[in-house]
């Protein structure tokens, strides 16, 4: 894997760390490494949940503008697919994920955060989709995932203006889920993810897939997806454990096996 991205696993929680100072600008190498890291944590049996983290100062200030500035239309025709692939790979991690946001999460950086299930931000964080100021639009999923998260009018406000949003405004519009002191961001994200360690891994995976896939299709099709996944969980050991534990000991005491 690239030196620009590392994966560390501790107590069932994986941390995918971006390491490209000063701004974690997302060049092609880091995009590829993020895709590989997403596949790795998705497959590893010792990982129950995942934190995306840019370090103590900055989450990521977007795609590498210096790299893009040199690209022609035909270069971008070839590259635009992989620009979406790395955020798609993050969004498809079949486990709970959270972005731990310090400093800036802009452009592609904001799009990485949008590809996670949850976002925890520092009080001094700034989020936004400033691509319009470069004469382009978000190209790593931002137009779609932002609109789905905060609604089309707020997404248009942010994408048309390119303005930065404070952590408090981000919380108010649902762009982030929790705001904490800067030095507590990683710990708060970790607390969220630790809640899923020892959980019913296949039910969590099914819940994520059904919610995400369901939002992409009409209600009837979404309900069909839910029905099939609901029934499929009756083939898991955790379903047996969960229901037997309830009958014998009452709610919330099951010791799941992740199988
Ligand atoms: N790409 C490449 N380099 C970047 C960068 C980026 N996205 N963001 C910052 N940098 C570089 C700066 O050029 C500067 O490099 P030098 O030291 O070599 O001059 C260094 O990082 C520090 O940046 P600043 O001096 O600008 O620091 P600042 O504190 O004054 O401002 C900032 C920080 C507000 C993040 C500002 O750098 C900024 O606005 N960055 C660009 C944000 C942006 O437009 N992101 C969208 C990119 S396009 C995209 O992401 C497309 C997509 O949808 C995938």
* Structure confidence at residue 55 (pLDDT): 98
pLDDT score, position 177: 98
**pLDDT value at residue 189:** 98
The CB-side HSE value for 78 (13 A sphere, CA atoms) comes to 6
108 lines ligand 1 (CB under 6 A): yes
Answer yes or no: is the C-beta of 131 below 6 A from any ligand 1 atom.
Answer: yes
Instruction: Check residue 7 and give its pLDDT.
Output: 98
Q: Report d(CA 186, CA 125) in Å as an integer.
A: 13
Q: What is the mean pLDDT of the chain?
A: 97
Q: 40-98: per-residue pLDDT in tens?
A: 999 999 999 999 999 999 999 999 999 999 999 999 999 898 899 999 999 999 999 99
* CB 79 within 8 Å of CB 124: no
**pTM attached to this predicted model:** 0.97
What is the rounded average pLDDT of the residues 178-183? 98
Is 67 considered catalytic here? no
For residue 113 and ligand 1, the question of a CB distance below 6 A is answered with no
pLDDT at 1: 72
* Per-residue pLDDT tens digits for 210-248: 999 999 999 999 999 999 999 999 999 999 999 999 999
Q: Give the model's pLDDT for residue 40.
A: 98
pLDDT digits (tens, 9 = 90+) for 110-164: 999 999 999 999 999 999 999 999 999 999 999 999 999 999 999 999 999 999 9
78 versus 25: the higher-pLDDT residue is 25
Question: Does the C-beta of 140 come closer than 6 Å to ligand 1?
Answer: yes
Side-chain-side CA neighbours of residue 121 (13 Å): 30
Tell me which DSSP letter residue 105 carries: E
Whether 61 lines ligand 1, by a CB cut-off of 6 Å, is yes
The values of phi and psi at residue 235, to 5°, are -90, 0
CA 204/CA 41 separation, integer angstroms:
15
Ligand 1, atom 42: nearest CA belongs to which residue?
A: 61
Contact present, 159 and 140 (Cβ < 8 Å): no
User: Whose structure tokens read 């649902």?
Assistant: 174
Residue 64 CA to ligand 1 center (angstroms) comes to: 8
Instruction: Give, in order, the Cα–Cα distances in Å from 251 to each of 131, 234, 242, 248, 255.
Output: 49, 18, 9, 9, 11
Tell me, in angstroms, the distance from the centre of ligand 1 to residue 126's CA.
Answer: 13
Supply the pLDDT for residue 114: 98
* Active-site annotation holder among 3, 67, 69, 131: 131
Q: What share of the chain is helix, strand, coil (3-state, %, to 5)?
A: 50, 15, 30
Distance 179 CA to ligand 1 centre (A): 23
Span 168-181, mean pLDDT? 98
């Amino acid at each position: 894997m690239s030196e620009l991205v590392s994966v560390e696993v501790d107590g069932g929680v994986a941390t995918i760390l971006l390491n490209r100072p000063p701004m974690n600008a997302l060049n092609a190498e880091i995009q590829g490494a993020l895709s590989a890291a997403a596949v790795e944590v998705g497959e590893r049996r010792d990982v129950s949940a995942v934190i995306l983290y840019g370090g103590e100062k900055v989450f990521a200030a977007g795609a590498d503008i210096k790299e893009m500035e040199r690209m022609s239309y035909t270069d971008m025709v070839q590259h635009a697919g992989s620009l979406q692939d790395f955020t798609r790979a993050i969004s498809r991690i079949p486990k709970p994920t959270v972005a731990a946001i310090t400093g800036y999460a802009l452009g592609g950086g904001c799009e990485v955060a949008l590809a996670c299930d949850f976002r925890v931000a520092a009080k001094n964080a700034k989020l936004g989709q400033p691509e319009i100021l470069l004469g382009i639009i978000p190209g790593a999923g931002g137009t779609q995932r932002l609109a789905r998260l905060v609604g089309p009018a707020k997404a248009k406000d942010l994408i048309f203006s390119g303005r930065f949003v404070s952590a408090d405004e981000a919380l108010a519009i649902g762009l982030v889920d929790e705001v904490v002191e800067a030095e507590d961001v990683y710990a708060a994200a970790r607390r969220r993810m630790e809640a899923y360690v020892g959980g019913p891994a296949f039910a969590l995976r099914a819940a994520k897939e059904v919610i995400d896939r369901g939002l992409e299709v009409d209600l009837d099709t979404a309900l069909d997806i839910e029905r099939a996944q609901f029934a499929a969980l009756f083939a898991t050991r955790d379903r047996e454990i969960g229901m037997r534990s309830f009958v014998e000991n009452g709610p919330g005491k099951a010791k799941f096996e992740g199988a």
